[in-house]
Homo-oligomer: A and B are copies of this chain.
Amino acid sequence: MGRPGLNRSAVIAAAADLADELGFDAVTISVLARHLGVRSPTLYSHISGATDLRTAVTAYVLDELADATSTAIAAGEGRDLLVAYADAIRDFARRSSGRYDATTRQRVPPASDPAAEIPDSVTAAITAGRRNADLALTVVRSYGIPETNETYAVRLMSSLIHGYITLELAGTFAHSDPPSETTWPEVLDDLDRTLTLIATAERH
């Protein structure tokens, strides 16, 4: 039925590649259409607009990231697990910075109109986001952190990893010694120490 050609998945995957090539800001209908060798209106058969496209890319990339970290933390626990997890995220961000940008640059819609339909891409992004949150929880739990402090530990770990990667990618660390490559393991050392402390010591 009908003739074969592009489909939604192919369009979104191409958009993710485009983000890596030219930056997430270049993920736009016209640029993407040019890259795919079609005219702009063609894409509206597969996506419902520019925001839908970008949100769909975010969801797609969040799933890729969850896949990457998921396989990285397949084995090990405690410090090894933390390093594997953090390295997986950082490697992902360095290998494809446009994709990583997509995971952070997408604002959650203000949920303004309760009558408004929630697009598929939004729920997909939320689901994929939760998947990543669950993986972070797995890492924290391997430290034996009591349930009361799980959320706190996830926030601490995520903030530090995300913050370091963001600043590194923005070039903030590029103009001072030592190289960012050197300080990264030290950051993980200190994070490991703190997570261990949270697991063992009683907190007020």
The interface of chain A, by Cβ under 8 A from chain B, is 23, 104-105, 107-108, 129, 151-152, 155-156, 158-164, 166-167, 170-173, 176-178, 180, 183, 186-187, 190, 193-194, 197-198, 203
Contacts and interface: CB of A to CB of B under 8 A. Distances in A.
A176 to B, nearest CB: 5
Closest 10 A/B residue pairs (Cβ): A163-B163, A159-B163, A159-B164, A162-B163, A160-B160, A152-B183, A108-B171, A190-B194, A151-B176, A155-B183
Interface centre among A156, A198, A203 (most CB of B within 10 A): A156
Contact of A163 (B158, B170, B177, B197): B158
Q: How many copies of this chain does the complex contain?
A: 2
Interface centre among A105, A171, A186 (most CB of B within 10 A): A186
Contacts of A198: 190
Binding site secondary structure of chain A: helix
